[in-house]
């Protein structure tokens, strides 16, 4: 895979009408905020498309987009009728996946979420594994590498896979793969709202990390004003306001789980001694609640 880029693979360069370029089958569609597309569209109106899109000409004569979805959408928004493209042909699905990921890594506006997505796509194609299996596997390999740097206790298949991965990271100039697993891979665990905001450029990555442990309501509030707050201010707000909110969320979740799982037949199946214990615990919980005021009970 080393050296597998849009410039190293045979292609032609031309211009194509925007209407003939279609999404590549099985390629996940991405969402972009309206503001992000409008800003790029303004730039396109002024300067045009500075970097050609990459497309794949299929055997039936269609043009499937490999990379440049954001530029294509901005071109349509700007009213362009055609765009510059690099046209590839005869590539396998694996090669297309690799090429799309490598070209994404070379973008100047690359954010940490897109970077991790691109690297994971390359690893998925090279190792022949679906993305959902990669994360736990990478974490296990990292633990193995930390405990046993020479991989003396790894089996032959694992050693071969790790060797291939190390070669990939050298070719991508992305540093050590263990550092990627430790410091970049956790990005994918951000809540979806934060992931989308970082992808769209609406939220800085460092601020997203500061917000990740905040309760949802507080997170939404801070996201709305994140542009006016520093990372340190966000962390302070999460520390000061997030604990009680998180505890309330935890309590709400516990109550919902209690209502869902505690059924009369399950209680009836308890021994007399355990039923007595449960009754005592429920009475203790009820004693913690303030007395109901007039009108606060359930309407009948």
Is 183 in the same domain as 204?
A: no
C-alpha to C-alpha distance for 100 and 106, rounded to whole angstroms = 10
Q: What's the pLDDT at 252? A: 65
243-291 residue pLDDT tens: 555 555 556 667 777 777 777 777 777 778 888 888 888 877 777 766 5
Q: What's the pLDDT at 27? A: 60
Is 218 in the same domain as 153?
A: no
Is 230 in the same domain as 175?
A: no
Let me know if residue 287 belongs to a domain: no
Let me know if residue 300 belongs to a domain: no
C-alpha to C-alpha distance for 103 and 53, rounded to whole angstroms = 10
Parent domain of 235: 200-259
Residue 149: burial class (beta carbons within 10 Å; 0-12, 13-18, 19+): exposed
pTM beyond cutoff 0.75:
no
Is 226 in the same domain as 177?
A: no
Number of domains in the chain: 3
Let me know if residue 280 belongs to a domain: no
Q: Per the structure block, which two tokens stand in for 289?
A: 């609640």
Is 183 in the same domain as 246?
A: no
Is 18 in the same domain as 52?
A: yes
Let me know if residue 195 belongs to a domain: no
Q: What's the pLDDT at 292? A: 57
* Domain-ending residue, one of 135, 162, 189: 189
Is 205 in the same domain as 147?
A: no
Is 19 in the same domain as 72?
A: yes
Let me know if residue 282 belongs to a domain: no
Is 137 in the same domain as 182?
A: yes
What per-residue string of b and e applies to 192-206 under the rule 16 or more CB within 10 Å gives b?
eebbbbbbbebbbbe
Q: What's the pLDDT at 230? A: 94
C-alpha to C-alpha distance for 229 and 290, rounded to whole angstroms = 38
Which parts of the chain sit beneath pLDDT 70?
1-8, 25-32, 108-109, 243-253, 289-300
Q: 193, 220 in Cβ contact below 8 A?
A: yes
């Amino acid at each position: 895979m080393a050296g597998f880029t849009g410039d190293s693979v045979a292609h032609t360069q031309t211009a194509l009408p925007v209407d003939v370029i279609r999404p590549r089958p099985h390629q996940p569609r991405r969402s972009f905020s309206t503001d992000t597309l409008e800003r790029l569209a303004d730039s396109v109106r002024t300067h045009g498309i500075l970097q050609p899109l990459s497309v794949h000409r299929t055997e039936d004569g269609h043009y499937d987009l490999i990379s440049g979805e954001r530029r294509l959408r901005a071109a349509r928004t700007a009213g362009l009728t055609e765009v510059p493209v690099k046209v590839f042909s005869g590539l396998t699905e694996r090669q297309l996946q690799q090429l799309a990921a490598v070209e994404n890594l070379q973008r100047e506006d690359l954010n940490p979420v897109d970077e991790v997505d691109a690297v994971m796509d390359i690893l998925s194609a090279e190792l022949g594994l679906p993305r959902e299996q990669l994360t736990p596997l990478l974490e296990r390999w990292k633990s193995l590498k930390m405990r046993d740097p020479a991989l003396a206790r790894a089996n032959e298949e694992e050693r071969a896979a790790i060797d291939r991965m190390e070669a990939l990271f050298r070719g991508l100039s992305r540093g050590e793969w263990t550092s990627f697993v430790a410091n970049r891979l956790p990005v994918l665990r951000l809540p979806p709202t934060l992931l989308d905001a970082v992808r769209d450029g609406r939220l800085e990555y460092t601020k997203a990390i500061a917000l990740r442990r905040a309760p949802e309501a507080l997170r939404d509030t801070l996201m709305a004003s994140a542009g006016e707050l520093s990372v340190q201010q966000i962390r302070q707000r999460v520390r000061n306001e997030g604990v009680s909110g998180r505890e309330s969320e935890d309590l709400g979740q516990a109550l919902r789980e209690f209502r869902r799982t505690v059924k009369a037949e399950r209680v009836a199946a308890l021994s007399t001694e355990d039923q007595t214990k449960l009754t005592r615990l429920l009475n203790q919980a009820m004693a913690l609640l303030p007395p109901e005021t007039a009108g606060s009970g359930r309407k009948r």
